Amino acid sequence: VDISFQMLRYGLEPDDKKLAKIYDDYKSGKLLTSELKQIAIDKVKAFLEHHQKEREKAKSKLDKFLWD
């Protein structure tokens, strides 16, 4: 199966029902490779945006953690 699907399967799509629908649609040809890649891109972008926000929040705590 496509690497984009594997990315969704192993962490980017937590909803098993959505993942099953994506799998079925891709397998049947209803979902094209480019559409599957776009789903993965959107999930990665959302993950990175969340990670960056959390990293910024943690910066203020870092000095306290390291030096206190």
Q: How many CB atoms are closer than 10 A to CB 37? A: 15
Distance (Å, rounded) from C-alpha 51 to C-alpha 14?
17
Percent of the chain residues topping a pLDDT of 70: 97
Tokens representing 56 are 């910024």
Distance (Å, rounded) from C-alpha 13 to C-alpha 36?
12
State the pLDDT at residue 39: 97
| Domain edges within the chain | 3-67
Cβ atoms of 11 and 48 within 8 Å: the answer is no
The mean per-residue pLDDT over the stretch 53-66 comes to 84
Q: What is the pTM of this model?
A: 0.81
State the pLDDT at residue 68: 64
- Note the CATH number of domain 3-67: 1.10.240.10
